[in-house]
Amino acid sequence: MIVQRTAGEPDNHSDIRETVRRLCEAFPGEYWRGKDAEGTYPAEFVAALTEAGLLTALIPEDYGGSGLPLSAGCAILEEIHRSGGNGGACHAQMYTMGTVLRHGSDEQKDSYLPGIASGDLRLQAFGVTEPTSGTDTTALRTTAVRDGDRYIVNGQKVWTSRAEHSDLLLLLARTTPLDNVERKTQGLSVFLVDMREVLGNGLTIRPLPAMLNHATTELFFDDMAIPASSLIGEEGQGFRYILSGMNAERILIASECIGDARFFIDRATAYANDRVVFGRPIGQNQGIQFPIAQAFAHMEAAALMVAEACRRYEAGEQPGTQANMAKMLAADASWEAAETCMQTHGGFGFAREYDIERKWRESRLYRTAPISTNLILSFLAEHELGLPRSY
C-alpha cells in the first residue's frame, strides 16, 4: 500500500485533514446533489468551514487567521474534494487574500483582513476574465479612470464566480490606455471593490448558468464610482500583483484535482469490487482494473508535482513552472480518474444518486479554468524550453 503523499510534505497536516473529514461527513453526497439540482450556493457548508476556522487558515495570526502555510490550504481543499464536496464554493478567498496581504496598504489590511478572518466579510470574487479578451488578459477592456478621490469604472467581466456571495471583489482594470504604455502588461491596476457600496449603483451582477453549480456570474460596470483608496499597491502594477498570486491559486486548485482523483479512484475501486457481472466482480477484468490502476499511478505522480510546487512556494520561491505543471498534471489526472470512474460504473455512472456524473462535470472545469491546458503548455514551451512564443 502506498502511503498517501500529499501537497506540502513533510507536514502532511494530518490533524487538519481529520478535522476536514469529520466536517465533510455532515455534508454527504445528498447535500451536494441537492445544491446541484437547485443550482443554489452551499451556504451551510461554507458557514461550517468558516466556523471551524478553515477558510482563514492562510491569513496571518496578526489579522485573526491561523497563519498556516500554503500546504495547509492544500490539505483542506484536497480533503473537501476527496469527500465528494466542492471547494469551488469558497476556495478563492484563500488565494485572492494573498494579493491584499502582499500588496495592500497597512490600512487596507487592517480594515479588511480581520473581518475576512472572522467570517464577517467575504472576499470570494475575482474579476479578471472578460468576454472579448479571454486568456489574453492584457487586452482587457474594463477601464478605471481617476477622478479626484475616486475611480470611475466602466466595462464588463464574465465568469466572475461567487460574486453574489461575496462582499468584496478583487478587480483587474486598465488605468492607462494600451496606446500609452510601452508594454501591454503595464497600465493595469488591481482594486479591492466593496460591492455592498456599488451594487445597483454602477454595478450589476447577472448569474451565468453553467454546466456545474459554481455560482458564476457576469458583472457590468456602468460609471461605477469607487474610492481611490480601493487601489491595491501602485497604479499600473496590477498585472504583476495578479501574477504573483497565481502560483498559490494553481497549487491550491491542483490540490482540489488530487482530491477529486482520489474520490473517483475510491469510488471506482469500491464499485469494481462490488459489482458482479458474468458471475464475477467486474474489477477482476483487466479491462476494468487496468484503467483504475493507471489513473492511480498518474494521480500519485501528479500529487508529487503538487507537493514539489508547494514546497518551493513555502521556501519563498516563485515556482511558476512547477505550479503550472502541478495544475495541468493534476487536472489531467483527475479527468482521467473521472472518465475511468464513469466507465467503471456503466449505466449507473449516469444516475444522479451515485454522485459520479456530478463530480465528473465538476472536475472537468480544471482543464479549462483558471487557466487552460494550452496556455500552460505554451508557458512551458517558451519559458522552460526556449521555444518561440506562440502568441
Active site residues: 249
Tell me the backbone φ, ψ of residue 278, rounded to 5 degrees: 55, 35
Q: Are 217 and 207 in contact (CB under 8 A)?
A: yes
C-alpha cell at 167: 462582499
E strands, the chain, where? Answer: 123-127, 143-147, 150-161, 168-174, 188-194, 203-207, 216-227, 231-232, 276-277, 280-281
CA distance 44 to 67: 24
Q: Is the CB of 54 or the CB of 212 nearer to ligand FAD? A: 212
CB of 110 to ligand FAD, least distance (A): 26
- CA distances from residue 323 to 41, 87, 326, 364 in whole angstroms, order as listed: 29, 19, 5, 19
> How many other C-beta atoms can be found within 10 angstroms of the C-beta atom of residue 215?
25
CA angle 123, 126, 129 (to 5 degrees): 170
- Tell me if 152 contacts ligand FAD by CB under 6 A: no
Binding ligand FAD by CB under 6 A: which of 378, 379, 381, 382? 378
312 versus 367: smaller Cβ distance to ligand FAD: 367
- The distance of closest approach from Cβ of residue 342 to ligand FAD in the complex, given in angstroms and rounded to an integer, is 20
Stretch that binds ligand FAD, among 23-31, 53-61, 122-130, 306-314 (CB under 6 A): 122-130
Question: Quick one: 14 or 135, whose CB is closer to ligand FAD?
Answer: 135
Q: Which of 28, 134, 207, 227 binds ligand FAD (CB under 6 A)?
A: 134
Structural element, H or E, at residue 297: helix 286-314
Q: Which residue is nearest to ligand FAD (CB)?
A: 134
**CA 152/CA 140 separation, integer angstroms:** 16
Radius of gyration of the chain (CA): 21
- Contact positions with ligand FAD (CB under 6 A) in 185-214: 210, 214
Contact status: 99 vs ligand FAD (CB under 6 A): no
Q: Specify the stretch interacting with ligand FAD by CB under 6 A; choose among 32-40, 153-161, 190-198, 337-345.
A: 153-161
- Between 125 and 337, CB nearer to ligand FAD: 125
Least Å distance, CB 45 to ligand FAD, is 18
The smaller minimum CB distance to ligand FAD, of residues 210 and 304, is found at: 210
368 binds ligand FAD (CB under 6 A): yes
Q: Does residue number 216 form part of the binding site for ligand FAD (CB under 6 A)?
A: yes
Sign of dihedral through CA atoms 103, 107, 113, 119? negative
Which listed residue (52, 375, 380, 381) binds ligand FAD by CB under 6 A? 375
| CB burial readout 70-81, b (16+ within 10 A) else e | bbbbbbbbbbbb
Is 242 a residue that touches ligand FAD (CB under 6 A)?
Answer: no
**Closer Cβ to ligand FAD, 109 or 250, answer by number:** 250
Q: Binding residues for ligand FAD, how many (CB under 6 A)?
A: 23
User: With the CA atoms of 121, 240, 229 and 90 taken in that order, what torsion angle do they form, in degrees rounded to the nearest 10?
Assistant: -10
User: Which one, of 54, 277, 59, 46, lies nearest residue 166 by Cα?
Assistant: 46
Does 132 participate in binding ligand FAD (rule CB under 6 A)?
Answer: no
**Do 60 and 54 meet the contact criterion of CB atoms below 8 Å apart?**
no
Using the rule CB under 6 A, give the single segment among 98-106, 281-289, 317-325, 365-373 that binds ligand FAD: 365-373
Rounded least distance, CB 125 to ligand FAD, Å: 7
Q: Is 129 in the site for ligand FAD (CB under 6 A)?
A: yes
Contact residues for ligand FAD, defined by CB under 6 A = 126-129, 134-135, 159-161, 210, 214, 216, 365, 368-372, 374-375, 378, 390-391
